[in-house]
């Protein structure tokens, strides 16, 4: 098909709808001779007269009657494609988004995200999948909409935005017999350890220990933060984990948070998305939901440093020792 043949589609639709050359021309803003010329081209292209005289009027041929609904549908589809998009309204959105992340992010942001969606887009569903090493691949392939992750290797064209920062904290059960309000490096190494490794990678803690010629005894390696926190709550093992994830469950699980005896670098959690979705209204709105949730759930990126890590102490003492 040549490009100029597409111009005949509107003329054919008008002729099929009006069954009259003059009326079809008025519908298109064309003169009667110009419309007659276009009809001649259509007849030649389709090898069918399309319109034939029947007494004092023109009628459609059987082929034209057959084409009439199909051509109308094509013209309507083309009109929708070329029309300006309707204003985006989250409340009218009925869609399932797929997001790769860890339960760490869900513990910190999940409740706020859920509340925002219920208020703004009650028909939107979120399908969370566990993080994978190359999470940019399902984003590139259109299998997923977003990833919330610690940034690793991904193609340069991908888009990112930082949501919040977190740091490491040591977690033990509230009545742990061997851990007091402070933890020495020797005591830390002597304990049995639980490690949360969502991607199965070596822990940053072990790299820092190795720099000092030390190693620790790891009893359990689990893929989920909740599993690690539950194990710490029911054993004498120690867990070094996200401060914000631990704080979310510490009161419920009766956990105590203690400052690590090692200089462990904080890290950032980021949104990651494919550039083809940069200006897609629904994806842009969803990204904004995550940003607003992070601003509400983590209003100060360094708030963890201001909290007292000895949460098992009475409230008055916690306030007096805040910032240590």
Model confidence over 83-125: pLDDT tens digits? 766 789 999 999 999 999 999 999 999 999 999 999 999 999 9
- What pTM value is reported for the model? 0.71
| Top-tier CATH class for 90-165+268-297 | alpha beta
Domain spans of the chain?
A: 3-82, 90-165+268-297, 168-265
CA-CA distance, 240 to 151, in Å (whole number)?
Answer: 20
The string of pLDDT tens digits covering residues 238-276 is 999 999 999 999 999 999 999 999 999 999 999 999 999
86 three-state secondary structure: coil
CA-wise closest residue to 302 among 250, 248, 244: 244
Assess whether the region 90-165+268-297 and the region 168-265 belong to the same CATH fold: yes
CA-CA distance, 50 to 64, in Å (whole number)?
Answer: 5
**CATH level 2 (architecture), domain 3-82:** Orthogonal Bundle (1.10)
Question: Residue 176: enclosing H or E segment and its boundaries?
Answer: none
Number of Cα atoms under 13 Å in the Cβ half of residue 311: 25
**pLDDT tier, 27 (very low <50, low <70, confident <90, very high otherwise):** confident
> Could you tell me the CATH superfamily of domain 168-265?
Periplasmic binding protein-like II (3.40.190.10)
């Amino acid at each position: 098909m040549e490009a100029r043949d597409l111009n005949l589609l509107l003329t054919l639709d008008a002729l099929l709808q009006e069954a009259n050359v003059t009326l079809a021309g008025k519908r298109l803003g064309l003169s009667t001779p110009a419309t007659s010329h276009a009809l001649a081209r259509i007849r030649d292209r389709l090898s069918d007269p399309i319109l034939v005289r029947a007494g004092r009027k023109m009628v459609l041929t059987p082929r034209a009657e057959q084409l009439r609904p199909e051509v109308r549908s094509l013209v309507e589809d083309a009109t929708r494609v070329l029309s300006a998009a309707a204003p985006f309204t989250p409340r009218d959105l009925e869609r399932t988004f797929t997001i790769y992340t860890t339960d760490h992010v869900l513990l910190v942001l999940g409740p706020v995200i859920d509340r925002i969606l219920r208020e703004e887009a009650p028909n939107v569903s979120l399908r969370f999948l566990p993080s994978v090493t190359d999470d940019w691949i399902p984003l590139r392939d259109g299998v997923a909409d977003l990833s919330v992750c610690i940034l690793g290797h991904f193609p340069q064209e991908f888009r990112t935005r930082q949501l919040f920062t977190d740091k490491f904290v040591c977690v033990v059960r509230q009545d742990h017999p061997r851990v007091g309000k402070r933890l020495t490096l020797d005591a830390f190494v002597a304990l049995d350890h639980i490690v949360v490794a969502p991607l199965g990678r070596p822990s940053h803690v072990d790299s820092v220990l190795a720099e000092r010629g030390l190693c620790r005894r790891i009893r359990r390696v689990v893929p989920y933060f909740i599993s690690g926190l539950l194990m710490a709550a029911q054993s004498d093992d120690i867990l070094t984990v996200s401060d914000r994830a631990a704080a979310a469950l510490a009161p419920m699980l009766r956990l105590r948070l203690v400052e690590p005896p090692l200089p462990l670098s904080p890290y950032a959690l980021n949104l990651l998305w494919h550039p083809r979705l940069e200006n897609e209204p629904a994806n842009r709105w969803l990204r904004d939901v995550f940003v607003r949730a992070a601003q509400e759930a983590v209003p100060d990126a360094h708030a963890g440093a201001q909290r007292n890590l000895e949460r098992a102490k009475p409230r008055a003492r916690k306030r007096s020792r805040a910032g240590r």
